Amino acid sequence: MNLEQLLDTVPAYAKDLKLNLSNLLQQPELTKQQIWGTAVTSAVTARNPQLLAAITESAAQHLTPEALEAAKAAAAIMGMNNVYYRFQHLAENKKYGTIPARLRMNVIRTHGIEPVDFELFCIAASAINGCGVCIDSHEKVVRDKGTGEDVILGCVRIASVVHALATVFDAA
Quote the CA–CA distance of 124 and 45 in Å, as a whole number: 9
Cβ contacts of residue 24 below 8 Å, gap of 6+? Answer: 35, 154, 157, 158, 161
Helix 115-129 and helix 149-171: axis angle, to 10°? 50
Angle at alpha carbon of residue 90, lines to 86 and 96, rounded to 5° = 80
CB-facing half-sphere around the CA of 61: CA atoms within 13 A: 7
Helix 115-129 to helix 65-90 angle (10° resolution) is 50
Could you confirm whether 134 is annotated as catalytic? yes
Pick the catalytic residue from 131, 141, 151, 165.
131
Looking at 14, 51, 52, 134, which residue is catalytic?
134
Q: Which amino acids are annotated catalytic?
A: 131, 134
